[in-house]
């Protein structure tokens, strides 16, 4: 009789312990499922556009497509970045206009401006992420890319930003495309994508995976 009693008590204890372990497993699984959701950051939408400057007496225009001759060592075009997507914006001094739109957003200094250039040749597809001047080297024989920090050059003439010039304070506010030696080998249109990014939005493959961007297409005339 005592043996039966002890067996019943032992069975109850075993079931209780197993129940607790099962609950702990479920709690751990639930926690794992919730963790990705907890890590999600609130998306901050900041409009960004690529504009063509036509002179101080004319408004800048948001460019979606642009057509020009592709002739070696000749400039194709320059495009300026602003934190807006209005069809037309002022033709005033670039630094002043950039500051005007920049001041519309808090914590905007946490973001940097980057670019992506996409085109094809007969033998290869290029999709280059450009965050600093050295990132232009691979495609330079085909398409010479020059980057400018117009925001920090307030007076007089200045040149494009070099790798030696680049630091954490640099803002690449405009990009110029010039035909390279192998420009005739490009068989597609050229896509120019400008984007705002945090370091966390550049993945291990050096690709941008954020949502604040604007793209235009450069056509061969």
Q: How far apart are CA 113 and CA 57, in angstroms?
A: 27
Q: How far apart are CA 147 and CA 20, in angstroms?
A: 62
Q: Is the pLDDT of residue 4 over 70?
A: no
Q: If DSSP codes are grouped into helix, strand and coil, which group holds residue 74?
A: coil
The most confident of the ranges 42-51, 135-144, 154-163 is 135-144
Q: Is the pLDDT of residue 12 over 70?
A: no
Q: What is the pLDDT of residues 24-34, one digit of tens each?
A: 433 344 433 33
Which pTM does this prediction carry? 0.80
- Mean per-residue pLDDT for 95-115? 95
In this structure, of 12-16, 134-138, 185-189, the range with the lowest mean pLDDT score is 12-16
| Nearest alpha carbon to residue 216 among 170, 169, 177, 165 | 177
Tell me, what's the pLDDT at 193?
Answer: 98
């Amino acid at each position: 009789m005592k043996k039966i009693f002890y067996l019943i008590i032992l069975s109850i204890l075993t079931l209780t312990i197993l129940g607790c372990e099962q609950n702990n497993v479920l709690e751990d699984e639930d926690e794992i499922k919730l963790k990705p959701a907890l890590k999600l950051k609130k998306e901050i939408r900041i409009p960004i556009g690529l504009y063509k400057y036509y002179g101080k007496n004319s408004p800048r225009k948001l460019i979606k497509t642009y057509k020009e001759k592709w002739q070696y060592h000749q400039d194709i075009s320059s495009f300026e970045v602003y934190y807006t997507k209005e069809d037309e914006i002022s033709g005033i001094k670039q630094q002043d206009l950039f500051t005007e739109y920049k001041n519309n957003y808090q914590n905007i200094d946490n973001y940097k401006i980057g670019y992506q250039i996409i085109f094809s040749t007969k033998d290869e597809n290029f999709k280059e992420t450009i965050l600093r001047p050295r990132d232009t080297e691979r495609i330079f024989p085909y398409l010479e890319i020059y980057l400018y920090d117009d925001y920090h050059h307030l007076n007089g003439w200045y040149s494009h930003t070099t790798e030696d010039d680049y630091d954490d304070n640099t803002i690449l506010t405009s990009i110029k495309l010039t035909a390279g030696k192998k420009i005739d080998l490009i068989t597609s249109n050229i896509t120019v994508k400008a984007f705002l990014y945090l370091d966390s939005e550049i993945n291990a493959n050096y690709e941008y995976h954020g949502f604040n961007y604007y793209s235009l297409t450069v056509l061969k005339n």
